[in-house]
Amino acid sequence: MNKAVFLDRDGVINLERGFTYRIEDFEILPGLTDALWEFRKRGYLLIVVSNQSGIAKGLYKQSDVEILHEYLNRYLKKTDLSFDEIYYCVHHPDVSRCICRKPDSLFIEKALARFNIDPALSWFIGDKERDTEAAHKAGVRGILIKANTPLTEIMDRIQ
């Protein structure tokens, strides 16, 4: 079986500044590639699970999120890195109901099945309680960090 590090996006990968959907507002946090390389060296798959409720609220479009993710992938590709998958929920409870929005765990469970991941060997790093709640629902260990904390500062917590 495989193991994975699941990552929230805003506040973990990029600077949390509210609804981030434009490239000019998308600031990758310091140390991201160093941390991702270390996770890869330790044998982890890298999977993003993000709530993007601004889509349901009509603040931006799904295509805006796709453009940002393409930008992120190009940035990582420069250092021969990539995410194994990026899942994002387009819903918000005020507009539409779903089971993919964290704190629900559908996307984590989907990745566990798709990539044959052992949840007991895996981690979810997030900056909100709903991230760690989703992780626990799926049997994955959660790490709650303060938003915009470089991942290099918590590497010792993941073995």
pLDDT in tens, 56-102: 888 899 999 999 999 999 999 999 999 999 999 998 878 778 988 99
Q: Which phi and psi (to 5°) does residue 9 adopt?
A: -95, -75
pLDDT in tens, 113-139: 999 999 999 999 999 999 999 999 999
DSSP-derived secondary structure for 120-148 = GG-EEEESSHHHHHHHHHTT-EEEE--TT
Place of tokens 């989907």: 110
**Active-site residue 8, yes or no?**
yes
Spans of all domains in the chain? 3-117+137-157
Helix then strand count (H, E) for the chain reads 4, 5
pLDDT score at 57: 87
**Active-site residue 10, yes or no?**
yes
pLDDT score at 4: 98
pLDDT in tens, 12-51: 999 999 899 999 999 999 999 999 999 999 999 999 999 9
- Residue 94 is encoded by which pair of tokens? 């005020």
Alpha carbons within 13 angstroms on the beta-carbon side of residue 84 total 22
- Global pTM reads 0.95
pLDDT score at 93: 79
Question: Which residue is catalytic, options 10, 64, 127, 131?
Answer: 10
pLDDT score at 92: 84
Superfamily holding 3-117+137-157: HAD superfamily/HAD-like (3.40.50.1000)
Task: Confirm if 136 and 129 have CB atoms less than 8 A apart.
Answer: no
